[in-house]
Amino acid sequence: MRRVLIKCGGSVIDSLTPEFFSSLQKLISQNYQLIFVHGGGPDINEMLNLYHVKPEFHNGLRKTTEQTMKVVEMVLSGHTNRKLVHLLEVHGLNAFGLNGSDGKCLQAKYINKEQLGLVGEIEAVNQEVILMLLRENIITVITPIGISKTGEKLNVNADHAAAAVARELNCHYCLFVTDVDGIYIDGNLVSNVSEEDIHTYITEGKITGGMIPKVKSALAAIEKGLERVMIVSGKKAFFDGRNWMGTKIQGKAGILQ
């Protein structure tokens, strides 16, 4: 069995198209097992706004106070996860939502408590529940909230969580589904980028904001030997059964993977 980890951006959940879902169906018909991790930036910002809390980011990572964490969990788990599970079900796919801290699925540690607060990075993944659901042909939809060794819930950037789950579950592909067709440089969509390109583009300010944790996570996934890592749009088809649409991340310049 071959596995695909799909990170679905909060930016695009409300705009996923039938063509996107038919790409998923094509993967399933080719015997791929799917696992989802979702983001939820816009939903969180909307709710924080209601609570008059100003979003604050460091290198694309959300600074998370205890108050922010309550909102993050309520929104991601109670709203965004439910929305994506429902959409998959409506499109004929069996899906099951899982908060990352449930069953110690996403085990995380603080990145920098002073600077970022309750923000974690994944140390290990308890695969038990995910594998149990996969055996029954059920897609797990994971909310990126981790649990620390001391039992605190930590906000994990969804792109980082996706790369970690892809690695731990020995996925073959990792797709970052977002609200743009891929990486744009000087107004043009690029179909392949190397690690060197990515570092240059970040330094030159051509890759910014939420695209930074995405490309860094993509590189981390490539390093672990994933066969295909791509940034694709959720607003159109990303796979027609043979060809892929979007930006493919390559490990080293010139080496096609």
Cβ 212 to ligand ATP shortest distance, Å: 8
242 is in an annotated binding site: no
99 is in an annotated binding site: no
Binding residues among 197-216 for Mg ion as defined by CB under 5 A: 210
Based on the shown chain and the rule CB under 6 A, indicate whether residue 11 belongs to the binding site for ligand ATP. Answer: yes
Cβ 41 to Mg ion shortest distance, Å: 5
Among 84-92, 133-141, 192-200, 206-214, the segment contacting ligand ATP (CB under 6 A)? 206-214
Strand pairing report for 119-125 and 106-110: antiparallel
- Structure tokens belonging to residue 53: 């809390």
Beta strands in the chain (DSSP E): 2-8, 32-38, 57-58, 61-62, 95-99, 106-110, 119-125, 139-143, 145-147, 153-156, 173-178, 183-185, 188-190, 192-193, 228-233, 247-249
> Would you give the DSSP letter of residue 9?
P
Among 63-71, 88-96, 112-120, 208-216, the segment contacting ligand ATP (CB under 6 A)? 208-216
State the Cα–Cα distance between residues 248 and 231, nearest whole angstrom: 7
Of 5, 9, 107, 197, the residue at the interface with ligand ATP (CB under 6 A) is 9
Based on the shown chain and the rule CB under 6 A, indicate whether residue 174 belongs to the binding site for ligand ATP. Answer: no
Based on the shown chain and the rule CB under 6 A, indicate whether residue 180 belongs to the binding site for ligand ATP. Answer: yes
Cα 236–244–207 angle (5° rounding)? 75
Based on the shown chain and the rule CB under 6 A, indicate whether residue 184 belongs to the binding site for ligand ATP. Answer: yes
39 is in an annotated binding site: no
- DSSP character string of 147-177: E-TTS-EEEE-HHHHHHHHHHHTT-SEEEEE
- List binding-site positions for substrate: 40-41, 62, 155
- List binding-site positions: 40-41, 62, 155
Write out the residues near Mg ion by the rule CB under 5 A.
Answer: 210
